[in-house]
Amino acid sequence: MDFEVWPEAIELGQLFAERGYELSLVGGPVRDLLLHRRSHDLDFCSSARPEEFEPILRSWGDGFWDMGRKFGTLGAIQHRNDGTEVRVEVTTYRSDTYDADSRKPAVAYGHELLGDLSRRDFTINAMALRVPSLEFVDPFGGASDLGKKVLRTPVDPEQSFDDDPLRMMRAVRFVAQLGFSITPDTAAAIADMAQRLSIVSAERVRDEFVKLLLSDRPRQGIEAFVESGLADVVFPEIPALQLEMDEHHHHKDVFEHTMMVLERAIALETDDDGPVPAPDLTLRLAAIMHDIGKPATRKFEPGGKVSFHHHDVVGAKLTRKRMRALRFDRHLIQDVSELVGLHLRFHGYVDEPWTDSAVRRYVKDAGHLYERLNRLTRADATTQNQRKAHMFERAMDEMEARVRELKKKEDFDALRPDLDGSQIMQILDLKPGPEIGKAYKHMLAFRLDNGPTDEVTATAELRRWWHEQQG
């Protein structure tokens, strides 16, 4: 085949060959070559052990790392004269396998390239290019599968997923990233073995889910995630959205609605200069989870109507619980659960526009999530009734315009009472204690209700409130 190969790859191959070691470009970079894509991160495998090729990488690059040493992997970086850089990782031929009860892979070194390729996740990643000879190695038909846009394991899928259950998550991730489909035998094996994913650490599963969600086609990935049965193991709240529908209780399928919200939210992400640069993990997670409280709150009302009262509150709690189980960062957990809890907040505005006080409270409560909350709210308005859709859009446009006008007069990002804690203590002649906190909270509410006031007016309100408390 005609390859336009990175000169750095050939250079590194020559350095390994001079010392009697094999080196091959493998995995994603080879796949990208066939797809005519370029990558600055190159993965290699070698017959050499880490202690043998470490000196080669140190001399070749101007940066070196060894975080993956226990897995047989070392890395280096070389900065080019044009200001770009090439990162490489080299791994000794190996086999990753899980013991029956293990949550981490055990590493065993292999001895030849074909054995290493046979242990890779899918045929499209089981191709290699020997360097510096440029011999293309494709023992499992990866190039053909790449052309067909299918995902298939190099060996029997049950054996492959038994060796490393995380490969099942990678399958649905590649559906999202590449737009490929999973072959029937591979899909059947995933469905049969989905429970084995439970032995993999939550962090590794989470990372695959995040890659899926940040891809170009997250909806396809989520649908494959659910259809495969993997979601039942990893994220059962998502398949639970496929609520039963019957002839007596007609209502939207919540899962289908959630997929629409995800796509609409993604369409509202901005470029790098905007307030919500794409791809935004916080917004996408909130879109996926905004209705996960509905199954637990569903109630069939008289007349065939269905209600989901307080599903926002319940959903926020479920969001925190699931994200903690998947070991997400606590700040991200807080932001996503806050968005889920607030996603219905705007709806009252459509029927009766808010006072300035209510607008201030909305912005204050949303805080740094304001732009994301508005996008989630817009995305959630999936009604097919064009009149209602236009009313909602106009109401949201109007509210955002009011916020912009209020922000010209007030600093919403630093919205505080007109009197600080020290002033409150001095005016009321009090020492630090719970009373000061209550007074501060009241003055903040007064500020939100009335906008900025002068010190005389604020002091009078504080004294009035304090007198009332004593009364």
Q: What is the pLDDT of residues 213-231, one digit of tens each?
A: 999 999 999 999 999 999 9
* 105-130 average pLDDT score: 87
Quickly state the pLDDT bin for 95 (edges 50, 70, 90): low
Instruction: Tell me the CATH class for 1-148.
Output: alpha beta
Q: Which residues pair with 65 in a beta bridge?
A: 75
d(C-alpha 238, C-alpha 231), whole Å: 7
417 vs 358, residue with greater confidence: 358
Residue 2 pLDDT greater than 60, yes or no: no
The region of weakest confidence among 242-251, 350-359, 403-412, 446-455 is 242-251
With CA atoms as reference, report the closest residue to 322 among 459, 21, 412, 314: 314
How large a percentage of the chain has pLDDT more than 70?
93
Please report the pLDDT score of residue 410 as a whole number. Answer: 72
* 55-80 average pLDDT score: 93
pLDDT digits (tens, 9 = 90+) for 362-385: 988 898 999 999 999 999 998 888
Whether the model pTM is above 0.95:
no
The three-state (H, E, C) secondary structure of the chain, written as one string: CCCCCCHHHHHHHHHHHHCCCCEEEECHHHHHHHCCCCCCEEEEEECCCHHHHHHHHHHHCCEEECCCHHHCEEEEEEECCCCCEEEEEEEECEEEECCCCCCCCEEEECCCHHHHHHCCCCHHHCCEEECCCCEEECCCCHHHHHHHCEECCCCCHHHHHHHCCHHHHHHHHHHHHHCCEECHHHHHHHHHHHHHHHHCCHHHHHHHHHHHHCCCCHHHHHHHHHHCCHHHHHCCCCHHHCCCCCCCCCCCCHHHHHHHHHHHHHHCCECCCCCCECCCHHHHHHHHHCCCCHHHHCEECHHHCEECCCHHHHHHHHHHHHHHHCCCCHHHHHHHHHHHHHCCCCHHHHHCCCCHHHHHHHHHHHHHHHHHHHHHHHHHCCCCCHHHHHHHHHHHHHHHHHHHHHHHHCCHHHCCCCCCHHHHHHHHCCCCCHHHHHHHHHHHHHHHHHCCCCHHHHHHHHHHHHHHHHC
pLDDT digits (tens, 9 = 90+) for 300-350: 888 778 888 899 999 999 999 999 999 999 999 999 999 999 999 998 888
Quickly state the pLDDT bin for 454 (edges 50, 70, 90): confident
CATH number of the structural domain 149-234: 1.10.110.30
Please report the pLDDT score of residue 14 as a whole number. Answer: 97
Mean pLDDT estimate for the chain = 89
Please report the pLDDT score of residue 429 as a whole number. Answer: 81
Residue 4 pLDDT greater than 70, yes or no: yes
Max CA distance (Å), the chain: 91
Residue 448 pLDDT greater than 90, yes or no: no
With CA atoms as reference, report the closest residue to 258 among 380, 392, 383: 380
Residue 150's contacts (CB-CB under 8 Å, 6 or more residues apart) are: 180, 181, 182, 183
Residue 142 pLDDT greater than 80, yes or no: yes
Please report the pLDDT score of residue 407 as a whole number. Answer: 82
27 exposed, middle or buried (CB, 10 Å; 0-12, 13-18, 19+)? buried
Please report the pLDDT score of residue 132 as a whole number. Answer: 95
Please report the pLDDT score of residue 421 as a whole number. Answer: 81
Please report the pLDDT score of residue 98 as a whole number. Answer: 53
Q: Which residues pair with 85 in a beta bridge?
A: 79
d(C-alpha 122, C-alpha 150), whole Å: 10
Locate the domains of the chain by residue range.
1-148, 149-234, 268-414, 421-470
Quickly state the pLDDT bin for 413 (edges 50, 70, 90): low
Please report the pLDDT score of residue 12 as a whole number. Answer: 96
Please report the pLDDT score of residue 246 as a whole number. Answer: 46
pLDDT digits (tens, 9 = 90+) for 231-287: 999 999 999 999 755 444 445 589 999 999 999 999 999 999 999 999 999 999 999
* 2-31 average pLDDT score: 91
Bridge-based pairing state of the strands 85-92 and 41-46: parallel
* 419-442 average pLDDT score: 83
